[in-house]
Structure 1
């Protein structure tokens, strides 16, 4: 992934999480991904695998493609 794609991904995950009123801890519980890893994704320190992206998209109730689509 390019740097701009990673930045978009981290911004969208955080935005969708906040829109759903989910804390990082709650998203962690819903996805079975550690809170520290969720934090690292949102800060751009980790790039999630496809498997983890699918889990995150399901927990956020969005199509995985929306995680890579610029939001207004």
Structure 2
């Protein structure tokens, strides 16, 4: 799954550690989500969506091969 978290975080000048603190997850989790190595749980995806005030489908999109 692709996502725009890195871009959204950069637009707000947030570090990965700051975003991790806001979401109550580890910095390693943020890194894994940003690089596409980990798909967040549905509750975490909703928390990310709420934090950025954007719909989930705006932040997360399926990879072409899995669509």
With the length of structure 2 as denominator, give the TM-score of the two structures. 0.77
RMSD (Å), alpha carbons = 1.4
The runs of 4+ residues in structure 1 deviating greater than 6 Å are none
Structural mapping, 1:53-64, within 5 Å: 53-64=45-56
The Cα shift of 1:14 comes to 0.8
Unmatched 5+ stretches in structure 2: 62-67
The Cα shift of 1:59 comes to 2.1
Match of 1:27 in 2: 19
Structural mapping, 1:1-72, within 5 Å: 6=1, 8-9=2-3, 12-68=4-60
More helix per residue:
1
| Deviation per residue, 1:3-37 (Å, 9 max, x gap) | xxx1x32xx11111111111110001111011100
More strand per residue:
2
With the length of structure 1 as denominator, give the TM-score of the two structures. 0.72
Unmatched 5+ stretches in structure 1: 1-5
